């Protein structure tokens, strides 16, 4: 057995059943080994940003690590932006990065680089193979670290360690379990919540699943508090019977206003809120100074067990979460804007859809109407590095082939990784991409206004405009093998969405905004 075969047979035994890949010469031993060691499906991405984003989407939906195969330092560098999102979203995945043969590394070949330094900022664990015999065990170490740290792990695999004989399958231990919150902390939190004031629970991670949302809502109703979701959650469940929980606002002044009446802020599976950017005369931590911050469960602890225990300790375990009647949505008519596009999606989306939200300046429009939609999962942009939507949709569709995926997609962000449409076409994935086509980096217009620039000059306008020439999204989609259509009104968009949901395979709809 070669080192590559030992590594892949171990990956298969560890439950890794898909590898998103964009390999090069140094990875040829692994490319060959996928045929001699079946059981791990390979999915080609035309750029590394597609590869890493798809692995993130797959792992968010499955809860187990996907694998990537990347070509040396430059290949890894091309995928860093979506690995940044995966790290911020606490997604476990395993990067295998090819490296020159161990005896060739000292020659400083043209593609040589410091892969370790590239990997550390976006990885919870970085390691290197040391021999063909140990490569499989080193893959296991990466897998255990990815699951324990809930973030990407990166194994740098030297070519000669992959092609040499002596590989063997390594034992795969049980996946590490999150640590348990001790009873003393739960009891202390229950006493705190029973006191005077108005507490707020801020949820992240697993707490944003259906059970966590119900538990937190019961607790809040019992103690006279409220519940928020962290901003840009990696995954949140919504639908009938699941309490509708608002996310914290984007701008710091809005965040301060949302928490203004809260005497206590209890963190459950997330960290303290931080402003996305530093704004003049606004705090980096947009929590009112009189609001006391406490942690029930941090990101490495069992948040659901902590919420169950707190519900019991506060006498709210059997209580029904507060009922809510979502507002009835009206079918959008006339010209398209962000709310009209989001409403059309919510009115037409099939049951149990997966909504990938990279709307950027339009992003808030979908959560605002989502409570009226059928049961669904929403995946957001936790790290803020744009170019996530198309790849994340690809990975989510591969993880859940029985669930339709809808990508609520800003046009500026779509340009970064549009090659992911080719993978969707090749794999026949049920993904509908809705391009919010305003032909601008609209979020930058907003930020210019906040900076006091009311009339941008020609240079500033040129750096925020996506027109001249405007993109023909229907033709771009067709070039990658994905059928496309264009909608300019609410009626046209709803009809296009209904057609896309009725037909197999991927589709793209250009929603032309006013």
Give dist(CA 114, CA 78) in Å, integer. 14
The pLDDT value recorded for residue 370 is 95
Residues in a beta bridge with 54: none
Structure tokens at 497: 């969405």
CB neighbours of residue 481 within 10 Å:
14
Contact between 374 and 403 (Cβ < 8 Å): no
pLDDT in tens, 254-292: 999 999 999 999 999 999 999 999 999 999 999 999 999
Q: Cα-flanking dihedrals φ and ψ of residue 415, to 5°?
A: -60, -30
Please choose, from the candidates 95, 122, 53, the residue with its C-alpha nearest in 3D space to the C-alpha of residue 395.
53
pLDDT at 83: 98
Q: Is 428 exposed, middle or buried, given 0-12, 13-18 or 19+ CB atoms closer than 10 A?
A: exposed
Q: What is the DSSP string of 382-432?
A: SS--S--HHHHHHHHHHH-TTS-EEEEEEHHHHTTSTTHHHHHHHHT--EE
Residues 308-338 have pLDDT tens digits of 999 999 999 777 776 677 788 999 999 999 9
Question: Hey, is 365 helix, strand or coil?
Answer: helix
- Which residue stretches of the chain have pLDDT < 70? 322-323
Rounded distance, CA 268 to CA 295, Å?
A: 6
Read off the tokens for 300.
Answer: 């490495």
Residue 349's pLDDT is: 98
Tokens matching residue 271: 């960290």
Compute CA distances 245 → 214, 304, 415, whole Å: 10, 17, 32
The tokens for 266 are: 């209890």
Measure the CA–CA gap between 141 and 332, rounded to whole angstroms: 52
Work out whether strand 507-512 and strand 484-487 pair parallel, antiparallel, or are unpaired: parallel
| Sole residue written with tokens 């809120």 | 273
Cα–Cα distance measured from residue 229 to residue 203, given in angstroms and rounded to the nearest whole number: 5
Buried b (16+ CB within 10 A) or exposed e, 324-339: eeeeebeebeeebbbb
CB 65 within 8 A of CB 59: yes
Give 3-state DSSP helix, strand, coil % of the chain, rounded to 5. 40, 20, 40
User: Is 0.75 surpassed by the pTM of this model?
Assistant: yes
Computed on alpha carbons and rounded to an integer, the radius of gyration of the chain in Å comes to 24
CA pair distance 217, 226, nearest whole angstrom: 7
What's residue 320's pLDDT?
Answer: 73
Give pLDDT, residue 454.
87
Range list of H helices, 227-277: 252-258
Q: What is the C-alpha separation between 42 and 412, in angstroms, rounded?
A: 29
**How far is 94 from 186, CA to CA, in rounded Å?**
34
Confidence at residue 362, expressed as pLDDT on a 0 to 100 scale: 94
């Amino acid at each position: 057995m070669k080192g590559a075969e030992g590594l892949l047979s171990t990956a298969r035994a560890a439950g890794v059943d898909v590898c998103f890949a964009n390999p090069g010469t140094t990875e040829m031993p692994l490319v060959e080994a996928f045929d001699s060691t079946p059981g791990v499906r390979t999915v080609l991405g035309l750029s590394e940003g597609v590869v890493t984003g798809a692995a993130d989407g797959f792992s968010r939906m499955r809860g187990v690590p996907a694998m990537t195969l990347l070509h040396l330092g430059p290949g890894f560098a091309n995928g860093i932006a979506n690995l940044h999102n995966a790290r911020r979203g606490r997604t476990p995945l395993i990067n295998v990065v090819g490296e020159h043969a161990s005896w060739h590394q000292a020659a400083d070949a043209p593609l040589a680089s410091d892969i370790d330094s590239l990997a550390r900022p976006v990885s919870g664990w970085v390691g290197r193979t040391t021999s063909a015999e140990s490569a499989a065990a080193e893959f296991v170490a990466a897998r255990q670290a990815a699951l324990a740290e809930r973030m990407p792990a990166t194994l740098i695999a030297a070519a000669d360690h992959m092609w040499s004989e002596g590989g063997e399958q390594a034992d795969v231990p049980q996946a590490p379990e999150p640590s348990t919150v001790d009873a003393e902390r739960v009891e202390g939190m229950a006493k705190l919540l029973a006191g005077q004031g108005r507490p707020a629970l801020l949820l992240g991670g697993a707490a944003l699943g259906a059970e966590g949302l119900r538990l937190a809502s019961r607790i809040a109703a019992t103690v006279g508090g409220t519940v928020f979701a962290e901003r840009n959650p990696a995954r949140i469940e919504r639908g009938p019977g699941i309490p509708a929980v608002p996310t914290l606002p984007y701008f710091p002044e809005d965040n301060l206003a949302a928490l203004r009446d809260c005497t206590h802020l209890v963190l459950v599976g997330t960290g303290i809120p931080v402003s996305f950017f530093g704004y003049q005369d606004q705090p980096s931590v947009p929590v009112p100074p009189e609001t006391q911050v406490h942690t029930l469960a941090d990101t490495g602890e069992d948040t659901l067990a902590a919420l169950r225990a707190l519900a019991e300790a506060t006498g709210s375990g059997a209580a029904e979460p507060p009922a809510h009647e979502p507002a009835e949505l009206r079918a959008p008519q006339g010209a398209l804007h962000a709310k009209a596009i989001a409403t059309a999606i919510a009115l037409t989306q099939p049951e149990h859809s997966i909504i990938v939200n990279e709307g950027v300046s339009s992003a808030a429009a979908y959560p605002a109407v989502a409570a009226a939609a059928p049961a669904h999962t929403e995946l957001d942009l936790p790290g803020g590095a744009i170019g996530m939507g198309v790849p994340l949709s690809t990975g989510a569709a591969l993880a859940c082939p029985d669930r339709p995926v809808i990508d609520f997609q800003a046009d500026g962000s779509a340009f970064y990784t549009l090659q992911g449409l080719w993978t969707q076409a090749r794999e026949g994935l049920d993904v509908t991409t809705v391009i919010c086509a305003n032909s601008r980096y609209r979020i930058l217009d907003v930020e210019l206004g906040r900076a006091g620039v009311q009339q941008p000059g020609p240079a500033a306008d040129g750096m925020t405009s996506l027109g001249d020439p405007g993109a023909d999204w229907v033709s771009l989609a067709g070039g990658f093998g994905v059928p496309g259509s264009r909608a300019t009104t609410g009626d046209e968009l709803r009809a296009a969405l209904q057609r896309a949901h009725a037909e197999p395979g991927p589709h793209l709809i250009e929603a032309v905004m006013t």
